[in-house]
A and B are shown apart, each in its own frame.
Chain A
Amino acid sequence: MLSRIVFSRFATFQKTRLASTLAFLEHSSSQLTPGSLNTVTAASKLGGVTALLAGTGAREAATAAAQLAGVEKVLVAEDAAYDHGFAEKITPLVAANVAKHGFTHVVAPASSVGRGFIPRLGAALDVQPLSDIIGVESENTFVRPIYAGNIITTVKTSDKIVLLTARGTAFPPAQKGESTAPIEDAETADLSATPTVKFISEHLAKSERPDLGSATRVVSGGRALKDKESFDSLVYPLADALGAAVGASRAAVDAGYADNSLQVGQTGKVVAPELYIALGISGAIQHLAGMKDAKTIVCINKDPECPLFGLADFSLEGDIFQIVPELTEKIKNA
């Protein structure tokens, strides 16, 4: 224990002397994404944070970033070339700013954009990134899940520049601080030699419900819902009664009951809400990887052998088609 305290003091001492961290933040309609707030928290564990925002609307989002606790400076690259988060363009931008300011660490959200450009930047800088970190032990030592979250590993890197993506649910969102950081123009990047990926269209699932990745309550449906109509008529009313986001197992998504973007699991979203209610989900390890850090897990399933019963805090064996409407009514009337 003593050695641990000494070690952590040493780490604190080191970080104030050496680390300078660039946090790549994402925005949508000039608002910081929820995952960006978690990324600031992860980055601030390494020392003072410089935030970088790019693309159309970056300057407006930068105003919010400048007010976050832990952010010391904000760099803005307001240029449509960086829209849609194409890794081919973001990589030279971040590389140019690392070269100019000498950042020792670059942290991005473990989102589709962060996962896209951080490894490409790794290739450009000849460093091996660490993805989806859930803990910061020191400037060069990080904790991350492997094997679908069945194993937790602590890894020490010897690279001079450390590239990281941070798992949103592992770090609390950064709050508004007391001071406002200065906003400057980012170093510009030479994009002349970069390959082009053309944006054609996007289909984003629109929803009034809380965002799945950051919701405090999630109601998820699985294969046992039998069809899209049952999914819609059972899962959504319960989610509405709870003010919860809606999730789905891969089986439910593959069968067309729910949109791809709702998939919870190793290859979908990783969530860690206060309450996770699984309806008709058996609990394959790939699904568990996406939700087993939820604070309270409820499993409703008619199969007594369902593996999720082994993990759930409260399990109710029975027919979801009878139980869910009853549960929804009783919660509404409570």
Chain B
Amino acid sequence: MSSKLRIMVPVKRAIDFAVKPRVNSAKTGVETAGVKFSINPFDDIAVEEAVKIKEAKKGAVESIHVVSAGSSKAQEVLRQSLAKGCDTSTLIDVGDASVEPLTVAKMLAKLAEEDKSNLIILGKQAIDDDSNHTGQMLAGLLNWPQVTAASKVDINESTGEVTVEHEVDGGFETVSASLPMIITTDLRLNTPRYATLPNIMKAKKKPLKTVKPADLGVDIAGRLETVSVSEPPPRPAGIKVNSVDELIAKLKERGAL
């Protein structure tokens, strides 16, 4: 490989996966006040994979740049990623606006070009909007190969060939592509580490740059308008049965058997 790996990892701050979201009182979105937020779980896996590559390929990785588009609170997830081993970070400060995947992809494409990134690892989807778009859009904008839902990544640093095992319907598939490329992570790719206290302290000294969407020449106005949000209708209360016979009888009564 002619040049070293310059990895970019985009991360998103989202409502914690264990929290059951509720529609807000104005019925315009999801209640966020007083709700726990965390790094999107798939993005945590992307950070872990980048750091693992850096640890395994001594000297092959020049830098890991972690990026988030969000409010100033997204700094927390950037610091956390720095504490896990990323080198530099950028917050694209969009204020409280919610930005659509296409907008995020455009901003990331600009940063990737500025940064001369040659490998971008993203989560396969954010667990809030569940779009599963940004990685593929970024690959499209950059005209790079994409492999989604990766469960195993193997980089040959001398040839720049990357072999990836990824989840497809009905099983998994192994494919390969050349750098530069985009990989999105499946849950099975790895188990993210915890940041240690000394590393959290060190991360406070690592670079965190803030840019505005306008600095990247991207208009953040979206194409989608949320007409309504609602909680799905609750299911009618269930029945507790006491034996297998009773269960079978109830299922027959209902026509399910």
Chain-A contact segment, one of B62-70, B79-87, B195-203, B243-251: B243-251
The bracket for how many chain A residues form the interface is 35 or more
Instruction: Determine the chain A residues whose CB is within 8 A of the CB of B245 once the complex forms.
Output: 330
Measured CA separation A122–B134 after assembly (Å) = 10
* Contacts A122-B140, A203-B171, A261-B169 given; does A296 touch B105 at CB 8 Å: no
Interface residue SS majority, chain B: mixed
Chain B residue contacts of A309, Cβ below 8 A: 238, 240
Stretch from A47-55, A222-230, A312-320 at the B interface = A312-320
Shortest CB distance A315–B (Å): 5
Q: Are B177 and A151 in contact (CB under 8 A)?
A: no
Q: What does the 1/0 interface line of B221-239 toward A look like (CB < 8 Å)? A: 0111111111110011011
B133 adjacent to chain A (CB < 8 Å): yes
Contact of B34 with A by CB under 8 A = no
Q: Are A123 and B175 within 8 A (Cβ)?
A: no
A173-205 interface mask toward B, CB cutoff 8 Å, 1 = contact, 0 = none? 000000000000000000001111111111111
Q: Quick one: which of A121, A123, A148, A314 contacts B130, CB cutoff 8 A?
A: A148
> CB of A31 within 8 A of chain B?
no
Q: Is B131 engaged at the interface, CB distance under 8 Å to the other chain? A: yes
User: Which of B110-118, B141-149, B208-216 is the contact stretch?
Assistant: B141-149
The interface-forming segment of A11-19, A62-70, A73-81, A83-91 is A83-91
On whether the beta carbons of B173 and A151 are closer than 8 Å, the reply is: no
What DSSP secondary structure best describes chain A's contact surface?
mixed
B133-A327 in contact (CB<8A):
no
Minimum C-beta distance from B188 to chain A (A): 7
Contact pick for B225, options A158, A261, A286, A334, CB 8 Å = A158
Given contacts A195-B145, A298-B247, A314-B250, contact A147 B132 (CB under 8 A): no
- A182–B188 Cα distance when bound, in Å, is 44
**A99 smallest CB distance to B (angstroms):** 16
Cβ-neighbour of A331 out of B178, B226, B227, B248 (below 8 A): B248
> Among A2-10, A37-45, A100-108, A112-120, which stretch is in contact with chain B?
A112-120
- Write the B6-19 contact mask toward A (1 if CB under 8 angstroms, else 0): 00000000010110
Are A111 and B101 in contact, CB atoms less than 8 angstroms apart?
no
Please state if A316 and B241 are interface contacts (CB–CB under 8 Å): yes
Nearest A residue (CB) for B102? A128
> In the complex the two chains form, is B130's CB within 8 Å of A203's CB?
no
B90 → A minimal CB distance (Å): 21
B59 / chain A contacts, CB cutoff of 8 Å: none
Bin the interface of chain B by size: 35 or more
B190 contacts the other chain (CB 8 A): no
Contacts of B141 in A (CB 8 A): 123
A153 and B186 CA atoms in complex are apart in Å by 25
Expressed in whole angstroms, the Cα–Cα distance for A233 and B228 within the complex equals 46
Mark out the residues of chain B between 124 and 158 whose CB falls within 8 Å of any chain A CB in the assembled complex.
Answer: 124-125, 127-141, 143-149, 151
Q: Mark A125-149, 1 if CB is under 8 A from B, else 0.
A: 0111111100000000100011111
CA distance A195 to B225 in the complex (A): 34
Query: Which chain A residue lies CB-closest to B168?
Result: A112
Say yes or no for A240: interface residue by CB 8 A criterion.
no
Contact between A315 and B186 (Cβ–Cβ < 8 Å)?
A: no
B149–A112 contact, CB under 8 A?
Answer: yes
Q: How far is the CA of A253 from the CA of B188 in the complex (A)?
A: 10
Complex CA–CA separation, A199 to B175 (angstroms): 5
Known interface pairs A155-B225, A313-B235, A327-B244; 10 further A-B residue pairs with C-beta atoms within 8 A, sorted by A's residue number: A88-B145, A119-B136, A119-B140, A120-B146, A123-B136, A150-B232, A152-B232, A203-B173, A266-B130, A331-B248
> Using a CB–CB distance below 8 Å, which chain A residues touch chain B?
84, 87-88, 91, 111-113, 115-124, 126-132, 141, 145-159, 193-205, 213, 242, 250, 253-254, 259-261, 266-267, 274-275, 285-286, 292, 295-298, 309-317, 323, 326-327, 330-331, 334
Q: Which 9 A-B pairs have the closest CB atoms?
A: A123-B140, A119-B136, A204-B171, A120-B140, A119-B133, A195-B145, A123-B137, A154-B227, A200-B174
Sample 24 A-B pairs with CB under 8 A, ordered by A number.
Answer: A87-B139, A112-B169, A116-B148, A128-B102, A128-B133, A131-B133, A147-B128, A153-B226, A157-B225, A158-B224, A194-B143, A195-B145, A203-B173, A205-B170, A205-B171, A275-B251, A296-B256, A297-B235, A313-B235, A313-B236, A314-B240, A316-B241, A317-B240, A327-B248
Chain B residues near A (Cβ < 8 Å): 15, 17-18, 20-21, 23, 30, 100-102, 105, 124-125, 127-141, 143-149, 151, 163, 167-178, 181, 186-188, 222-232, 235-236, 238-245, 247-248, 250-251, 254, 256-257
